[in-house]
Structure 1
Amino acid sequence: MTLLEVLVGFGAALVAGVCVGAVLGRIEWLRRAVQPALVALQVVPKVAFVPIFVIWFGFGPTSKIIMAGLLAFFPIMLNVMLGVRSVERGHRDVMTGLGASRWATFRNLELPATLPYVFAGAEVAIVFSVIGAIVGEYLGGSAGLGYLVVSSLNALDAPRLFAVIVLLAVLGSLLYMMVTTAKRLVIPWHESVNTGV
């Protein structure tokens, strides 16, 4: 159950973060307009949203998925926004001068330049999505590893509590390794640049 909540929340955050980050990175006036709201939303402790999500969506997996997605959204969105803004205007002007369409400019210039930022955000976001799902289960769940933490604590069952903690560490590490492996497969040139090959 926890793995499902993490993966669905992370997937939703990845799609939303890339879309919002790309738009805010390209449209300067919109970024300035929404930045105060984004900062305010980011600094609010996300734990405060758990009771609201439980009231709105119940004790099922939906509220935990939203919590996982909310925590994962900001690292991805901010990194994508930085990635889009890192593309130099001169490069875009060259593509325009060569008669490239918007899609061709995106595919050949902006996407390769932004992918390292997407994966940098995803590496942080996958860990945050695990934390979000666990916090959601801990405070308002009836299943999953976060719920097991609460039930183990209530029963004063220290061995089971330690077993859940180890399982969470393994789960988070495996998911992080999946993201880093995907990064090496999708943008192998970035690894070779970083290692000096």
Structure 2
Amino acid sequence: MAVESTQGAPAGVAERDRASTAERALGFIHQAWRPVALLALLFVAWWVITATGLVQPYLVASPGDTFSTIAEKSDYFWEHTFITLWETVAGFLLAIVVGVVTAVIMVYSTTLERTLYPLLLFAQVIPKIAVAPLFVVWLGFGTEPKILVALLMAFFPIVISMVTGLKSIDPEMLQLSATMGASPMKTFYKIRLPASLPHLFSGLKIGATLAVTGAVVGEFVGANEGLGYVIQQANGNFDTPTLFAGLVIMSVLGILLFALVEVLEYFVLPWHASRRIDAATTSM
């Protein structure tokens, strides 16, 4: 009898886990159709504006010309898109590591927080397009300056969100943890870090889109490859379809990175209050 109950329990747990995963996936799809529908409406509006001749073709390329240009120059666009994607992902991942570490240091040291916070704010308000040429002078025309600009663009929202999350813990919870004899490290992993994840994911979603912008801004300043280079060359040659094709691909990269973070948040934080509210709202 004991063996049967032991064998039966994992099967039941597995079935519940599969059902829970399926429910979360269906819930995500149910939420995703609205932005997809909005994008479809924007696409139709774009097509109507260009098809009716409200604007000249040299000002706004039609969807047909834009996507036919992407199809005709697929190898060209793929080569430059891969460069921008690499710069974006590298800068974004570095921003996550540096941002999280900086946030933890600032939360656990009031002196460092008061020292670093004004510097972070000062660095954020400086236009990145203004300092990007310095990075090119210092690091050359390779991918390093673009990765650095992407890192700087994504860093600020990540570190601020993480600091906010780490500080949002109820002080009574921390006192209880100390009373129970938990070490600072255990308190961090068991209490502070899980409670900060919703705030962190909010910063990650903002940082993901800014990282794309940062990589392209770096390519505007000095590059011979990447989507920023493609857009700049097309603008100089008055090649509107190629320019719009580069903008579309750049936008898709940002949307995909945002969606990737959103999906990760959806499955990592199913317990968060925002998810329960979404479920209750969509079921009504």
| Structure 2 residue aligned with 1:86 | 168
| Structure 2 residue aligned with 1:70 | 152
- Equivalents in 1 of 2:123, 2:131: separation in Å? 11
- Equivalents in 1 of 2:243, 2:233: separation in Å? 9
Which of 267, 275, 281 is matched with 1:185 structurally? 267
Point out where structure 2 has 5 or more consecutive residues left out of the alignment: 1-82
Is 1:55 the counterpart of 2:137? The answer is yes
| Structure 1 residue aligned with 2:240 | 158
Look up the equivalent residue of 2:120 and give its one-letter code: L
Point out where structure 1 has 5 or more consecutive residues left out of the alignment: none
Query: Displacement of 1:82 after TM fit?
Result: 0.7
Contact residue 64 and residue 132 of structure 1 kept, 8 A: yes
- Equivalents in 1 of 2:116, 2:152: separation in Å? 17
Look up the equivalent residue of 2:245 and give its one-letter code: A
Which of 103, 107, 110 is matched with 2:189 structurally? 107
- Equivalents in 1 of 2:109, 2:161: separation in Å? 15
Q: Could you state the TM-score of these two structures normalised by the residue count of structure 2?
A: 0.67
- Equivalents in 1 of 2:103, 2:210: separation in Å? 18
Q: Name the SS for the 2:271 alignment partner.
A: helix
Is 1:171 the counterpart of 2:253? The answer is yes
- Equivalents in 1 of 2:146, 2:176: separation in Å? 46
- Equivalents in 2 of 1:147, 1:164: separation in Å? 9
Look up the equivalent residue of 1:16 and give its one-letter code: V
| Structure 1 residue aligned with 2:87 | 5
Which of 116, 121, 129 is matched with 2:211 structurally? 129
- Equivalents in 2 of 1:13, 1:69: separation in Å? 5
| Structure 1 residue aligned with 2:179 | 97
| Structure 2 residue aligned with 1:116 | 198
**Number of equivalences:** 197
Is 1:26 the counterpart of 2:104? The answer is no
Q: Could you state the TM-score of these two structures normalised by the residue count of structure 1?
A: 0.96
Q: Name the SS for the 2:181 alignment partner.
A: coil
- Equivalents in 2 of 1:98, 1:57: separation in Å? 51
Higher RCO, 1 or 2 (CA under 8 Å, sep at least 6)? 1
The RMSD of aligned alpha carbons is 1.2
Contact residue 25 and residue 80 of structure 1 kept, 8 A: no
- Equivalents in 2 of 1:75, 1:23: separation in Å? 16
